[in-house]
Structure 1
Amino acid sequence: MTAYSLLDLVPVVEGGTVSQALANAADLAQHAEALGFSRYWTAEHHGMTGIASAATSVVIGHVAAATSTIRVGAGGIMLPNHSPLIIAEQFGTLDALFPGRIDLGLGRAPGSDQKVARAMRRTLETDSNAFPQDVLELQSYFADDGKTGISATPGAGAKVDLWILGSSTFGAQLAAALGLPYAFASHFAPDALDAAIAIYRRDFRPSAALAKPHVMAGFNIFAADSDEEAELLASSQQQAFVALRTGNPGKMKPPLAGYRQSLGAQGAAILDHVLQCSAVGSPATVARGIAAFIERTGVDEIMVASSIYDHDARKRSLEITAEVMSELKVAA
Structure 2
Amino acid sequence: MPLPDHLTAPTPPATAVDLPGPLVDAAWLRENLHRPGLVVLDATVRQKPLPADPAALPANGAGSAAPLPSGRDDWELVRIPGSRYADLAGALAAPDAGFSYAMPDSERFTAALRELGVGPESRVVVYDDDSRMWSTRLWWALREIGLHTVAVLDGGLQEWLAQGGPVASGPEAGQGAAGPAVPCASWPAERRGTLVDKSAVLDVVHGSRPDQVLVCALGKDAFHGSAPTRYSRRGHIPGSLNLPAKDRLLDAHGRFLPRPELEDAVSGLPADAGTLLYCGGGISATLLGFVLVLLGRDDVTVYDGSIEEWSADPSMPMTQTVPGDS
Q: Pick the TM interval, shorter chain.
A: under 0.3
Q: TM-score, length-normalised on structure 1?
A: 0.26
Higher helix residue share: 1
Q: TM-score, length-normalised on structure 2?
A: 0.26
Higher strand residue share: 1
